[in-house]
Amino acid sequence: MTAIALAIAGSDSGGGAGIQADLKTFSALGVYGATIITALTAQNTQGVFGIHDVPADFIAAQMDAVYSDLAVAATKIGMLSVPAAIVAVARGLDRHRAKNVVLDPVMVAASGDPLLRPEAIETLKRELIPRALLITPNLYEAAALTGTPLARDEAAMRAQGATLIALGANAVLVKGGHGEGAEAVDLLIERSGTRRFAAKRIATKNTHGTGCTLSSAIAAGLAKGKALGDSVAAAKEYVTKAIAAGTDLKIGKGRGPVHHFHAVWPAN
């Protein structure tokens, strides 16, 4: 059977993040991708210049259309900027008994522009964190979700992951890409223990869409029947190679995208 993954997220008109990055990732990893659009953004490599939210009832209609017809094996959730959209997605997940849900709690774009309204944070914590198999916050998102200072070491990352599990999360991947040091370290925190995933930190400005890409790659692995830890390990390897290859991409004037198809076509 064809592996199918669904991305519920916003559209990035510049093509580097959001739904566009999700579909590229699914395709690169051999998974059929379906989409639910939650917002349109006027966006490029330099910033986000406008957000147009899709009405909650139309988000629900998209979910009903996709889940009622396609055998969705994993669902990745990205940008949800307003409380009504979050609630609509949560109710849709329940209606269709969605499985293998990966929640990327997108709060800020790589450019620094906000993508999640402050009043939506509590709704996200209440409605979606308990419904996800895995949540994938970066250091800034983990700090915002837990109400604690930015983690400066792995002990603090583990503590924030434990706090999120206490809030109802099944598993948490705290991503250390925004940290310092020679290695970019991600920690997978579960009730049964913690796994460490490390890769050499790459000096590049082409990091637009890395969070979207990683969470989509994890969902792709789950859709193909891989265990959670194996999906995270494969996704980390894929994203690391995409970041390395992305240093040669000449796209835009700001933070360029990673190279999703690095294994298929050359960067130049």
Domain ranges within the chain, ordered by starting residue? 4-246
Query: Is 212 among the catalytic positions?
Result: yes
Query: Is 148 among the catalytic positions?
Result: no
Q: Tell me the two tokens of residue 24.
A: 């590229």
Q: Where are the alpha helices (DSSP H) in 15-69?
A: 18-28, 56-69
pLDDT of residue 267: 57
pLDDT of residue 106: 84
> Active site residue: 24, 175, 226, 236, which one?
175
Query: Is 210 among the catalytic positions?
Result: yes
> Active site residue: 16, 211, 246, 256, which one?
211
> Active site residue: 45, 123, 146, 210, which one?
210
Q: How far is CA 69 from the centre of its chain?
A: 24
> Active site residue: 25, 207, 213, 240, which one?
207
Amino acid at 189: I
Q: What is the pTM of this model?
A: 0.95
Query: Is 14 among the catalytic positions?
Result: no
CA torsion sign for 148, 153, 157, 159 is negative
Helices 18-28 and 210-223: crossing angle in degrees, nearest 10, is 40
> Active site residue: 14, 92, 209, 256, which one?
209
Query: Is 236 among the catalytic positions?
Result: no
* pLDDT tens over the chain, length 268 residues: 899 999 999 999 999 999 999 999 999 999 999 999 999 999 999 999 999 999 999 999 999 999 999 999 999 999 998 999 999 999 999 999 999 999 999 887 666 666 777 778 899 999 999 999 999 999 999 998 999 999 999 999 999 999 999 999 999 999 987 767 778 899 999 999 999 999 998 888 888 999 999 999 999 999 999 999 999 999 999 999 999 999 888 899 999 999 999 999 865 6
With beta carbons less than 8 A apart as the criterion, state whether 124 and 84 touch: no
pLDDT of residue 177: 75
Q: What are phi and psi of 245, to 5 degrees?
A: -70, -25
Query: Is 136 among the catalytic positions?
Result: no
pLDDT of residue 249: 87
pLDDT of residue 188: 98
Question: What number does CATH give the domain 4-246?
Answer: 3.40.1190.20
